[in-house]
């Protein structure tokens, strides 16, 4: 039923039990019907929900602790929404320790052959427990298709996949229900969801939710590969250890092949070894380390994207910040370009046979939000993993007093190596969605 009718039904019920309000009803109908007809489903849904859905009440402790939030806590939206896309709509669900996590992809055309070897190999690159520099949680992360596939091909119905959580240890997270981890989402989730959020393993805020993101991304990447577009990322920095940079204007298939050959996705193997040592030393000290992922997309035609709010930078950044731990993004010469003069930063244009190219690519393949046919190149900064085993200072939400916290459980000493396929997946979804 159109949501506007839910609202109208309630009004009509009230009117017919109160005959004195009949003239008022006629007036109301005259003025509101055109508005109701003009409202689309989404807006009506918001109206209906704002009448019906009250967020869970904040605990008294929350009120005492955070007076700046108390007036608005019951007025704020109280649901989690993890959706992205226009042409396709991906919706990610589940928590780190729920029976499964998953994704539904709406809008895929019928007749696409899904290559499961490609999908599973992509998933394996992100899966935990692969080596000594990632969390020792052991998950095989093989997606199970629930719907949308007939005889190995998409059938046009939403493609739904789940990935089972097999190795959860929820007891490790009992302390953080009361004492939020510094720089994780425990405190903000507690405020927003009134303490009803699932804290086990970070709940819906866990890096584990990037598994379904990678599943959706791998499918988009397969489709993109079929039309000559490819995406590859490498670790460009861990702490103060740097890899070689991609050549912004000339990055191509040969670079991708070289990066993909290495167990740790880097250009220079020597840098890769130094990065591995840096991560192991952080882990040995009960600490963590951050870094940067550099990503390139090649084979895109010129003319994709829109100005202002729907540009390719906006679309890519929007989904990249869906990867937990991502804290910054820049395109082309990015923040480095701020130190250059126009004559240094401008990408001069030339004819390459019948193709229009630029000699440099400080724009990162995007001008005015629209692709110019050069490689799209961007970098994503990831913070150090917040869950470290060194004792940290926090607060007890129940006692409203300062407290210390020693985090138990299995954590990545560095998010970056496992974030590399997540960045590629996010870029694949953004690009496919924009085509």
- Provide the binding-site residues for ligand FMN, judged by CB under 6 A: 135, 184-185, 202, 205-207, 210, 323-325, 383, 385-387, 411-412, 415, 418-419, 422
Q: Which two tokens stand for residue 316?
A: 């890519």
- Tell me the closest approach of the beta carbon of residue 382 to ligand FMN, in angstroms: 7
- Tell me the closest approach of the beta carbon of residue 13 to ligand FMN, in angstroms: 45
Residue 158 vs 180, nearer CB to ligand FMN = 180
- Tell me the closest approach of the beta carbon of residue 206 to ligand FMN, in angstroms: 6
Residue bearing tokens 């539904």 = 104
- Tell me the closest approach of the beta carbon of residue 247 to ligand FMN, in angstroms: 27
- Tell me the closest approach of the beta carbon of residue 200 to ligand FMN, in angstroms: 13
Residue 184 vs 278, nearer CB to ligand FMN = 184
Residue 202 vs 365, nearer CB to ligand FMN = 202
Whole-number Å distance between alpha carbons of 4 and 74: 24
Identify the H or E element spanning 269: helix 269-284
Residue 178 vs 412, nearer CB to ligand FMN = 412
Q: Are 220 and 112 in contact (CB under 8 A)?
A: no
- Tell me the closest approach of the beta carbon of residue 145 to ligand FMN, in angstroms: 23
Q: Are 313 and 331 in contact (CB under 8 A)?
A: yes
Residue 187 vs 432, nearer CB to ligand FMN = 187
Using the Cα atoms of residue 121, residue 419, residue 174 and residue 93 in order, give the sign of their dihedral: negative
Query: Nearest Cα to 416, choosing from 386, 377, 385?
Result: 385
Query: Nearest Cα to 238, choosing from 125, 133, 132, 128?
Result: 133
Residue 323 vs 374, nearer CB to ligand FMN = 323
Q: Which residue is nearest to ligand FMN (CB)?
A: 207
CA atoms within 13 A on the CB side of 254: 3
In this structure, the strands spanning 83-84 and 89-94 are antiparallel
Q: Which two tokens stand for residue 376?
A: 């799209």
Residue 252 vs 318, nearer CB to ligand FMN = 318
- Tell me the closest approach of the beta carbon of residue 132 to ligand FMN, in angstroms: 15
Residue 332 vs 386, nearer CB to ligand FMN = 386
Residue 331 vs 382, nearer CB to ligand FMN = 382
- Tell me the closest approach of the beta carbon of residue 19 to ligand FMN, in angstroms: 57
Whole-number Å distance between alpha carbons of 158 and 144: 14
Residue 383 vs 408, nearer CB to ligand FMN = 383
Using the Cα atoms of residue 319, residue 93, residue 51 and residue 34 in order, give the sign of their dihedral: positive
- Tell me the closest approach of the beta carbon of residue 409 to ligand FMN, in angstroms: 8
- Residues 6+ positions from 341 with CB-CB distance below 8 Å: none
- Tell me the closest approach of the beta carbon of residue 186 to ligand FMN, in angstroms: 9
Which residues on neighbouring strands pair with residue 395, listed in sequence order? 402
In this structure, the strands spanning 153-154 and 366-367 are unpaired
Whole-number Å distance between alpha carbons of 346 and 360: 8
Query: Nearest Cα to 235, choosing from 295, 194, 188?
Result: 295
Residue 245 vs 383, nearer CB to ligand FMN = 383
Using the Cα atoms of residue 69, residue 73, residue 77 and residue 81 in order, give the sign of their dihedral: positive
Query: Nearest Cα to 397, choosing from 201, 199, 176, 198?
Result: 176
Q: Is 104 helix (H, G, I), strand (E, B) or coil?
A: strand
- Tell me the closest approach of the beta carbon of residue 326 to ligand FMN, in angstroms: 6
């Amino acid at each position: 039923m159109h949501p506007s009718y839910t609202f109208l039904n309630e009004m009509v019920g009230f009117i017919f039990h109160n005959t004195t309000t009949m003239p008022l009803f006629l007036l109301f109908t005259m003025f509101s019907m055109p508005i109701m007809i003009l409202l689309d489903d989404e807006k009506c849904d918001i109206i209906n929900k704002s009448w019906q859905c009250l967020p869970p009440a904040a605990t008294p402790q929350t009120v005492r602790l955070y007076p700046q939030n108390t007036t608005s806590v019951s007025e704020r939206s109280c649901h989690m929404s993890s959706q992205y896309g226009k042409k396709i709509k991906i919706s990610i669900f589940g928590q780190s320790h729920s029976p499964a996590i998953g994704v539904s992809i709406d809008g895929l055309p019928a007749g696409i052959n899904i290559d499961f070897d490609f999908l599973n190999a992509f998933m394996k690159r992100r899966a935990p427990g692969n080596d000594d520099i990632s969390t020792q949680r052991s998950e095989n992360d093989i997606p199970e298709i629930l719907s949308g596939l007939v005889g190995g091909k998409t059938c046009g119905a939403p493609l739904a996949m789940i990935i089972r959580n097999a190795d959860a240890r929820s007891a490790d997270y009992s302390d953080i229900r009361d004492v939020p981890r510094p720089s994780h989402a425990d405190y903000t989730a507690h405020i927003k969801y009134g303490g009803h959020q699932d804290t086990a393993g970070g709940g819906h805020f866990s890096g584990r939710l990037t598994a379904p993101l990678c599943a959706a991304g791998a499918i988009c990447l397969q489709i993109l590969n079929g039309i000559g577009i490819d995406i590859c990322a490498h670790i460009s920095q861990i702490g103060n250890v740097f890899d070689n940079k991609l050549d912004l204007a000339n990055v191509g298939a040969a670079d991708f092949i070289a990066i993909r050959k290495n167990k740790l996705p880097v250009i220079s193997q020597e840098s890769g070894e130094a990065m591995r040592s840096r991560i192991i030393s952080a882990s040995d000290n009960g600490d963590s380390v951050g870094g940067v992922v550099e990503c390139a997309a090649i084979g895109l035609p010129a003319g994709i994207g829109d100005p202002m709010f729907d540009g390719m930078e906006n679309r890519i950044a929007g989904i990249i910040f869906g990867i937990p731990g991502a804290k910054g993004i820049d395109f082309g010469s990015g923040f480095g370009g701020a130190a250059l003069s126009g004559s240094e930063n401008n990408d001069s244009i030339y004819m390459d046979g019948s193709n229009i190219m630029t000699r440099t690519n400080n724009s990162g393949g995007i001008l005015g939000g629209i692709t110019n046919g050069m490689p799209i190149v961007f970098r994503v900064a990831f913070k150090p993993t917040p869950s470290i085993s060194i004792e940290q200072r926090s607060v007890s939400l129940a006692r409203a007093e300062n407290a210390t916290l020693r985090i138990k459980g299995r954590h990545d000493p560095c998010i970056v190596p496992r974030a590399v396929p997540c960045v590629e997946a996010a870029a694949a979804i953004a690009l496919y969605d924009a085509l």
